[in-house]
Structure 1
Amino acid sequence: MVEESLTAADIGGALGERATLVQFSSAFCQPCRATRRVLTEVAAMVEGIGHVEIDAESHLGLVRRLEVERTPTVLVLDAQGRITTRASGQPRKADVIAALGRAVTPS
């Protein structure tokens, strides 16, 4: 798999200074709401972490490019926008924290 990078323009929001949590969601997805809560909590715990939620139905080009097959799908980006982790389904808070630990650039 080719290493994929995303820009602020790609995700429609600013990249976090240290890492970014990108969530693909859909309107009637109950696990998406729970995922939003988890990612918002984790992003608030660590300085320099951004969280961007993308409506999959409104961004089909990006969904196809990244081969997002279900919602929620979460991508963890490092400070340069490189995808370091990808997961589908509702994540556990501990798994998100661990993935961030691998992506975060020491401050």
Structure 2
Amino acid sequence: MTSEHGTRRREAVGEVLDAAELGAELGEKATLVQFSTAFCQPCRATRRTLAEVAAMVEGVGHVEIDAEERLDLVRALGIARTPTVLVLDRDGRIVIRAAGQPRRADVIAALGRAV
């Protein structure tokens, strides 16, 4: 599927993202990818939650992507709002995609599906 901007839109869940595309290394076991914008209040709370969970679970990385700076990736993945969180498995495959501020318990449950 191609967007009106000529960027091929990917389906997201099941899609594989790599370190070069994200601009950061993937976690050894899983990676929490957060799309944020500068003035998004829920993004700040999401950042704290994801960082806390990543620190608690060995081998889990947290990558925050500024949606305004990475419009190519935002369009390709069909990110419509911030925060949007992608949970990647060890191979970079998107296992779960969720929009809005997540609860810590939901992030931990999602990681359970990814590892």
TM-score range, shorter chain: over 0.9
SS class of match (1:87): strand
Partners of 1:65 and 1:9 in 2: how far apart? Answer: 15
1:1-107 alignment to 2 at 5 Å?
1=11, 3-104=14-115
SS class of match (1:91): coil
Query: How many residue pairs are counted as aligned between the two chains?
Result: 104
- Output one character per residue of 1:56-75: Cα deviation in whole Å (capped at 9) or x when no partner: 00000000010000000000
Deviation at 1:3, TM superposition (A): 2.4
Partners of 1:89 and 1:11 in 2: how far apart? Answer: 20
Give the alignment's TM-score, normalised by structure 1: 0.95
Partners of 2:14 and 2:60 in 1: how far apart? Answer: 21
Q: Which has the higher helix share?
A: 1
Give the alignment's TM-score, normalised by structure 2: 0.88
Partners of 1:6 and 1:85 in 2: how far apart? Answer: 13
List runs of 5+ in structure 1 lacking aligned partners. Answer: none
Greater CA radius of gyration, 1 or 2?
2
Partners of 2:22 and 2:103 in 1: how far apart? Answer: 23
* Amino acid paired to 1:38: T
The worse-fitting range, judged by mean Cα deviation, of 1-10 and 46-55 is 1-10
What is the root-mean-square deviation in Å for CA atoms of aligned residues? Answer: 0.9
